[in-house]
Amino acid sequence: MDLAHAGQTNLTNSTTHQRIADQDHLQAVTISYSSLRLFFPDRQMNVMLSTFIDGSDQEDFHANTQSPQLTDVKSLTHFEESFFWTRGDDRVYKEHLNEDTGQFYHNQFSFNIEFFFGPFVGLEMYHPSMQPVPVPANPPQDLRVLFGEDSVFLSWLEPEQLSTFGKGAWKDWRYELEVQNLDNLSENSTCVSDITAYNYTLQQLEKGTQYSFSVRAYSGGGPGPWSDSFVGRVYSQEALEYHG
């Protein structure tokens, strides 16, 4: 579900279903948000399959695995490029890469199931990298600046979105504005952050001074790239005088 639809009471007309993997014996599934790939074991072939989230480029992932143990997988997750899974017994399985041979091995670790107060269901990985907050990939578009006597009005459009981002990926993004006095480069640039709109009015600028302006979007995951600079000069008092 797109995060933009969260909180809606009727999602019938706003969501669609797409079949990604077609298997009668599909088991557990995990996703890599960095590579946008799904991973799921095939219990009949005893291999780990991988595909993009649109269902394309399905492949036998880590085909050079020695003595795979991927039958009857009940839960599956991954962390730092390693898979962890359970098979309904008292063992946790982990994938290990032998860097000398380039081959993968499946190791198993036993644990005392009596430590659990309820039935043991499976593994879950809680870490920011498991579902990171999307970071803006592109700069804001069409930055425009309207100059006044000692102020400027800036406006822009939201960054172009990647096809893999839902509409909800940027609904809480904010913007940061950088201002540089080009007539006095020894002066540090000024940054204004926490801008929620697509425009901003900057006050108390020096008359007749040339400035450069840039804007970027940022999210809880980090900042995106800066836009191209817009360079212009604030009106001087002489320029504002009327000569008939």
Residue 221 confidence (pLDDT): 84
Using DSSP, state whether 119 is helix, strand or coil.
coil
Residue 87 confidence (pLDDT): 84
Question: What does pTM read for this prediction?
Answer: 0.61
For the chain, 244 residues long, the average pLDDT of each consecutive 10-residue run is 54 62 77 82 84 81 84 85 81 85 85 66 74 85 92 94 68 91 89 95 92 95 94 76 48
Residue 244 confidence (pLDDT): 44
Contacts of 19 (CB under 8 A, 6+ apart): 55
* Position 123, amino acid: L
Residue 191 confidence (pLDDT): 94
- Alpha-helix runs per DSSP H in the chain: 237-240
CA 146 from centre of chain: 33
**Terminal-to-terminal C-alpha distance of the chain:** 64
Residue 243 confidence (pLDDT): 46
Distance from C-alpha of 77 to C-alpha of 125, rounded to nearest angstrom: 7
| Domains annotated on the chain, with CATH | 3-130 (2.40.10.500), 141-240 (2.60.40.10)
Contact 178, 12 (CB under 8 A): no
Contacts of 31 (CB under 8 A, 6+ apart): 37, 38, 39, 53
Distance from C-alpha of 200 to C-alpha of 19, rounded to nearest angstrom: 44
Distance from C-alpha of 158 to C-alpha of 167, rounded to nearest angstrom: 12
Using DSSP, state whether 106 is helix, strand or coil.
strand
Residue 30 confidence (pLDDT): 87
Distance from C-alpha of 57 to C-alpha of 26, rounded to nearest angstrom: 17
Contact 105, 66 (CB under 8 A): yes
Residue 92 confidence (pLDDT): 85
Place of tokens 């557990």: 28
Residue 229 confidence (pLDDT): 96
